[in-house]
Amino acid sequence: MSATTRIAGTRPQATSGPLRRLAAHTLRILLVVFFASPIIFMAVSSLKPDRQIFTDLGTLKAFLPAGDVSLDNYRGVFDRVPAVRFLLNSILISAITVAAGLVINSLAAFALSRMRWPARKAILSAIIATLIVPFETVALPLVWWVNKLPWLTANGFQLVLTEGWLDTYRVQILPFVANAFSIYLFHQYFSSIPTELDEAARIDGAGFFTIYRRVVLPLSGPAIATVAILTFLPAWNSYLWPLMVVQSEGLRPVMVGIQYFFQLNVAWGQIMAYATMITIPVLALFLAFQRSFISSIAATGVKG
């Protein structure tokens, strides 16, 4: 009788397993649809004329490539703004910012996490404290400083010392190479790597830079991918800073180009097409490094 009771008692658990998984998958699908719907609407609307975009609003047709569908909006983007130039500028600025940021921030985090020297914890705390300061509060003082900074420029075969970084590529890159959050992420991940590896490398005669380059960095792939994504996003989406320091059209990034579509007559289809074009690199980067990104965030979250 007890055996029968036990067997009968296991049946609800056996049947609840598939139902629970079905409910979990259904919830995930609904969340994906909810968060992807703006992107789907943007991509679909980029194929429609303005009249049809407003006609389809409030119906499921807004998310379907149905009706008068064409690539005219994309052609109009290139006729209205120098989109290729803006894209190349943003790719250049973002790539250099990411590459330089990975080197500078990882070196700083290595010094703070793997080397023993006085006041390193206080300096790390000061670096993290800068995260609470919004960029808008330092934007105007930063403009003043970059306008006073010197730079060597080539004048024929001579190097001439000039003053001011405004209206250049460097003013869009160098102020954002060092990043407190990137240093923190690297510090947390480097701290999870056993220090015994450093000691073994020192026995073999390796210095700190060799340990950094051959021991710590090869084990920090997820952290590198995460910092690369988190550095790329603000560099690619930068709008306020280039608007303040760049006057030449040939130096402007993609986000500043959006304001071109609100001059004279507003073309919403072209705006959607332009937004779709500048969103694709961000999605491609995240999809390429999503596993490393998730594993790094998970590892960082469980460390002191």
163 pairs with which residues across the strands?
150
Q: Answer yes or no: are the C-beta atoms of 270 and 77 closer than 8 Å.
A: yes
> What is the rounded average pLDDT for all residues in the chain?
87
Which pLDDT band holds residue 302 (cuts at 50, 70, 90)?
very low
Within 10 angstroms of residue 230's Cβ, the number of other Cβ atoms is 19
pLDDT in tens, 3-46: 455 545 555 555 567 888 888 889 999 998 888 899 999 999 99
* Alpha-carbon separation of residue 132 from 48, 135, 136, 139, 217 (angstroms): 43, 9, 12, 15, 28
Helix (H) or strand (E) holding 260: none
Q: Of 24, 57, 80, which closes a domain?
A: 80
Which pLDDT belongs to residue 11?
A: 54
Which pLDDT belongs to residue 184?
A: 93
Question: Angle of helix 180-191 relative to helix 268-301, nearest 10 degrees?
Answer: 30
- The reply to whether 118 and 169 lie within a common domain is yes
Q: Of 63, 80, 97, which closes a domain?
A: 80
Q: How wide is the angle at C-alpha 130 spanned by C-alphas 124 and 131, nearest 5°?
A: 105
**CA gyration radius, the chain:** 26
pLDDT in tens, 47-69: 999 999 998 888 888 898 888 88
150 pairs with which residues across the strands?
163
List the domain range (segments joined by +) for residue 66: 1-80
**130-134, 187-191, 297-301, range with the lowest pLDDT:** 297-301
pLDDT above 70: percentage of residues in the chain: 89
Phi, psi (rounded to 5 degrees) for 150:
-85, 165
**30-39, 78-87, 183-192, 285-294, range with the lowest pLDDT:** 285-294
- The reply to whether 120 and 265 lie within a common domain is yes
Query: Which residue is it, tokens 């694709």?
Result: 280
pLDDT above 90: percentage of residues in the chain: 50
Q: Average pLDDT of 218-232?
A: 90
Buried b vs exposed e over 214-225: b needs ≥16 C-beta within 10 Å?
ebbbeebebbbb
- The reply to whether 68 and 195 lie within a common domain is no
- The reply to whether 20 and 157 lie within a common domain is no
- The reply to whether 95 and 189 lie within a common domain is yes
- The reply to whether 27 and 93 lie within a common domain is no
Three-state DSSP class for residue 20: helix
- The reply to whether 57 and 198 lie within a common domain is no
Which pLDDT band holds residue 251 (cuts at 50, 70, 90)?
very high
Listed residue (97, 22, 6, 38) closest to 276, CA to CA: 38
pLDDT in tens, 154-202: 776 777 788 889 999 999 999 999 999 999 999 999 998 888 888 898 9
Q: Average pLDDT of 215-223?
A: 90
Domains held by the chain: number = 2
For residue 242, what is the domain's CATH number? 1.10.3720.10
pLDDT in tens, 106-115: 999 999 998 8
Which pLDDT belongs to residue 296?
A: 63
DSSP codes, 159-209: EEEEE---SSSHHHHGGGSS-HHHHHHHHHHHHTS-THHHHHHHHTT--HH
- The reply to whether 215 and 281 lie within a common domain is yes
- The reply to whether 199 and 281 lie within a common domain is yes
- The reply to whether 198 and 119 lie within a common domain is yes
Which pLDDT band holds residue 304 (cuts at 50, 70, 90)?
very low
pTM value?
0.84
- The reply to whether 164 and 297 lie within a common domain is yes
The structure tokens listed for 219 are 């084990």
Q: Of 80, 98, 118, which closes a domain?
A: 80
The structure tokens listed for 265 are 């007559």
- The reply to whether 86 and 151 lie within a common domain is yes
Q: How wide is the angle at C-alpha 13 spanned by C-alphas 8 and 15, nearest 5°?
A: 95
